[in-house]
Structure 1
């Protein structure tokens, strides 16, 4: 049963949203400069553009203001916030680093730096900045949350739990924190504690399907089949048109060894989202394991139509066709897989397809194969 604990690992760090740095109007205004009317005009105009949602124009205005006041940390922090809001995280890092250089003891600046580094996958740098923010402001809940997320990404789940607990003591009714805490416990296979945290998250956010799925995993790994399956059913009821939910349900059933229910869940996922390649892949693998070659052929043909450059899909299609004694079609699928493996530099894949072709049709091998 413990295999189920690995199913939603991708959710435990990245699915919890990193909160965007907040910026107060006085920060973006910076201080008025009585002897610098041009700077004051730029700050006023920049604030108007921010209020109007014209982020790109506001950035340009504040960058001009920064040339007039190169030692004004608040202007640089404002630029960093706006760049982060626009998704320009590398530029945001540059701006926040300058703000921190000018005003080293400002927790908000360190938080913004951590946020932007995290969005560039610089998790170690982000952790350093978030940690400094928490040192400067022990009540900065968002900094503790961000720290927990990036520590989870680095595999430091004990550190993540510690960070989340800091928040949970301050905000016990924060559903997002309880979900993050429960997910971190899942990663450590601390299932009873995961159940407690996720049940609290479910009480606080009863319509969150992801919480129900993680709760299902915690319950199933705790040996509570009845409540675990009920949590999965609640997740599906909450988002009946979400193929991703059924994909995750299929993964859970598969980890339990319940192939029939896994296949049904994958089929439902595909019915809802025909382009969901992961569901096609998982379903095809199970069908091949069952030697249900006809359905596997249908599944893999759909998959290669979605991702024609997927060499593995072509190879598996060949296996399914060979299982139905459709040798000519199997050879064509193997040859396509071999060509793609060669283009991708996958020598193991090339060798595997050569072996399959040699077994199936030695005359179809190319010179040197």
Structure 2
């Protein structure tokens, strides 16, 4: 699971604040106002320069440090953001927004234990902050504490009953815990709150399948695919789910859509080709594997798989040529295991 970056950064923006009594003279007040204006306009490079200038004259103002943290987070510089928020906390240990922002930044770095501690402190200082509970839920799920994450999501829902993301997160965890009935109820509520969200539809479909309603389940998954036509991660989830559930046509459709979005991703061609081979469709599998050899002519696996697909069709001369290329490339790459499997394939088919 990922933190909801735009929503989180929106909440972090409150840490920018306004000029405080520490900004006593008019020049610093003007700089603070200009920095905030630039941030709100999305001019982060210019805003960074302004706040760095402010820091030289007003280094004890925690809002200046938090503003720098926000800018760094917007630029994806989460280590720098975390350091800035830690400095803000050193100067003001009672501001829950600083701890929330620190938790977000640490979470984006994968520093999950630190993120959990920061979110918990944010909640201690303000137990009405639904986003802090949601951030904590995401981190606890990462840390392998599903019960803690479930409790945190329930806190979000009690504070914000219309939070579709909290309903979705809770539903996913309940499904993982095999609490199918409650997961289904929760995910249905998420779908009512966010009817056009592809990820919600996908998870609702999975819950329906688990509840023994395949017709409704695949209908929801098909809706998810239609909604998420440009979401590679979601399409891959659907493809893998469909392949495992013996729904090859859905899987093929998802893989083909992935290829149209990212025609250079070799793994997708391999996954599609292997599925086509499992479905006794070596003709289309060969065409798929051949794409690998064109995109990456030094990849021996593409030639090996192409050889297998051609051999199954009885196209022995073409298969032998593909195998020989694969063998040559495996040798050049000092891969004896690869050489062995090609030799075995050549012996079996020739």
Same fold (TM over 0.5): yes
Shift of 1:15: 7.0
- Are positions 1:23 and 2:13 aligned together? yes
- 1:66 aligned onto 2:33: no
Aligned position for 1:345: none
Shift of 1:83: 1.3
Separation (CA, whole Å) in 1 of partners of 2:187 and 2:162: 12
Q: Note the C-alpha offset of 1:111.
A: 0.7
1:214-225 equivalent positions in 2, closer than 5 A: 214-225=203-214
- Please state how far the C-alpha of 1:355 moved relative to its aligned partner: 0.8
TM-score, normalization: structure 2?
0.86
Mapped contact 1:259–1:286 kept (Cα < 8 A): yes
Cα-Cα RMSD: 2.8
1:169-210 superposed Cα distances (whole Å, 9 cap, x missing partner) = 111111111111112223333322221111101011111121
1:3 corresponds to which residue? none
Gaps of 5+ in 1: 1-12, 343-349, 363-369
Q: Is 1:355 aligned with 2:348? A: no
Q: Counterpart in 1 of 2:239?
A: 250
Please give the per-residue CA displacement for 1:14-69, whole angstroms capped at 9, x wherever unaligned.
Answer: 275461143348725333533x4443343233234334432112222212222222
Could you say if the C-alpha distance between residues 176 and 284 of structure 1 is closer, same or farther in structure 2, counting changes exceeding 3 Å? same
- Of 147, 167, 187 in structure 2, the residue corresponding to residue 198 of structure 1 is 187
8 Å contact kept, 1:29–1:75: no
How does 1:162-181 map onto structure 2 within 5 Å? 162-181=151-170
Q: 1:190 to 1:16 in 2, by over 3 A?
A: farther
Contact 2:303 2:323 in 1 (8 A): no
User: Residue 137 and residue 280 in structure 1: after superposition, are their counterparts in 2 closer, same or farther (change >3 A)?
Assistant: same
Which runs of structure 2 are paired with 1:178-327 in the superposition (5 Å)? Answer: 178-239=167-228, 246-270=235-259, 274-275=263-264, 277-307=266-296, 312-324=301-313, 325=316, 326-327=319-320
In structure 2, do the counterparts of structure 1 residues 65 and 86 end up closer, same or farther at CA, with 3 Å as the change threshold?
same
> Does residue 14 in structure 1 map to residue 2 in structure 2?
yes
- Judging changes above 3 Å, is the alpha-carbon distance between structure 1 residues 332 and 202 closer, same or farther for their aligned structure 2 residues? same
> Relative to 1, partners in 2 of residues 1:167 and 1:243: Cα closer, same or farther, differing over 3 Å?
closer
How many Å apart are 1:294 and its aligned residue? 2.7
Residue equivalent to 1:336: 329
Deviation at 1:158, TM superposition (A): 2.1
Q: What is the Cα deviation at residue 243 of structure 1?
A: 6.5
SS at 1:14 equivalent: coil
Between the aligned partners of 1:52 and 1:269, the Cα distance in structure 2 is: 35
8 Å Cα contact 1:49/1:58 also seen in 2: yes
Aligned residues: 341
Extract unaligned runs of 5+ from structure 2.
none
TM-score under structure 1 normalisation?
0.82
Higher relative contact order (CA 8 A, sep 6+): 1
- Aligned residues of 1:318 and 1:334 also touching (Cα < 8 A): no
Q: Following TM superposition, by how much is the alpha carbon of 1:229 offset from its aligned partner in structure 2, in angstroms?
A: 1.4
